[in-house]
Amino acid sequence: MITIKNAREIKLMRQSNALVALILDELHDMIKPGVNAYDLNDRAEAIIRAHNAESAFKGYEMDDLDPYEYSICSSINSEIVHGYSTKDKILQNGDIIGIDVGVKLNGFCGDGARTFAVGTVSKEVQFLLDCTKKALENAIAQCTPGNRVGDISAAIEKTAMDNGIHVAEWLTGHGIGRMLHEDPIIPNVGKKGTGPMLKPGMTISIEPMFNIGTSKAVEKEWVYYTMDGSSSAHFENTVLITESEPEILTKTRSS
């Protein structure tokens, strides 16, 4: 069931997603060679606590896996999503790190992700970041009432195809509200004019995940990796469908 948020619920969605954006900006400032992903997780937890919120990821259950143990996901290089925030993950110059933040505040969820360059990255990797970010922008441009989920998916797929980049298989975006994952599923590939219609009051998390070498993914204990070891990038914004232009609820400094 796709939920339509009323004015009060929209206000709460704005607040939870603004907290996500604030955390992404704070963590962005910490990204440099030598920092470990655990410290990013710690900092995120402190901010979440200070706002009387909770992580929407910690304790999340999926299939027969143990509940997810971390407050944020930090996915480095060939990790597509759901990477762990451990102490031994020390950032090196040239790495990329996808930071995914999900919170629950006053009963409503926020969700957003950015992939950051650590120091100086190769041209090829920078191109991957630029394309993935562009795909998210192109997707959001489709978020007008009367358009359909397939218009979003097609815009993401086209951005990858036009640039010779690969869409990570299986992984999708989603509706969001009281639950982190609500209907509809927002695939990163699809056909224009198909799928559920977008209506004012819907809130959706759009999250293109692109890989340099292959669309093939492997999953091991939560973490998705590219099958060929090539780098992967992930950008996610939560968006409110309005009567006119979409409203990005997770707006950060960088996008």
Site for ligand MF3 in 3-42 (CB under 6 A): none
Say if CB 110 and CB 19 are below 8 A apart. yes
Given ligand MF3, Co ion, none, residue 57, with its beta carbon under 5 to 8 Å by kind, binds: ligand MF3
Site for ligand MF3 in 132-171 (CB under 6 A): none
Task: CB nearer to Co ion: give 113 or 128.
Answer: 113
The minimum distance between CB 87 and ligand MF3, in angstroms, equals 19
Give the helix ranges, DSSP H, for 169-251: none
Given Co ion, ligand MF3, none, residue 60, with its beta carbon under 5 to 8 Å by kind, binds: ligand MF3
Q: Which residues of 68-77 are buried (b: 16+ CB within 10 A; e: fewer)?
A: bebbbbbbbb
Task: CB nearer to ligand MF3: give 66 or 243.
Answer: 66
Which phi and psi angles does 47 have, rounded to 5°?
A: -65, -45
Given ligand MF3, Co ion, none, residue 47, with its beta carbon under 5 to 8 Å by kind, binds: none
Say if CB 118 and CB 233 are below 8 A apart. no
Which phi and psi angles does 76 have, rounded to 5°?
A: -100, 135
Residues in contact with ligand MF3, shown as a per-residue x/- string from 77 to 96 under the rule CB under 6 A: -----x--------------
Given Co ion, ligand MF3, none, residue 95, with its beta carbon under 5 to 8 Å by kind, binds: none
116 class by beta-carbon count within 10 Å (0-12 exposed, 13-18 middle, 19+ buried): buried
Report, in this order, helix, strand and coil percent for the chain, each rounded to 5. Answer: 30, 30, 45
The minimum distance between CB 66 and Co ion, in angstroms, equals 20
Tell me: does residue 111 bind ligand MF3 (CB under 6 A): yes
Site for ligand MF3 in 212-241 (CB under 6 A): 236
Residue 198 DSSP one-character state: P
Task: CB nearer to ligand MF3: give 185 or 197.
Answer: 185
- Residues in binding contact with ligand MF3, number by CB under 6 A: 14
Task: CB nearer to Co ion: give 159 or 250.
Answer: 250
Binding region for Co ion (CB under 5 A): 111, 205
The minimum distance between CB 119 and Co ion, in angstroms, equals 27
**Nearest to residue 77, comparing CAs of 228, 255, 189?**
228
Per DSSP, the residues of 58-106 read TT---TTSPPP--SEEEEETTEEE-----TT-B--TT-EEEEEEEEEET
Neighbour count for residue 52 (Cβ, 10 Å): 8
Residue ranges binding ligand MF3 (CB under 6 A): 57, 60, 62, 68, 73, 82, 100, 102, 111, 113, 174, 205, 207, 236
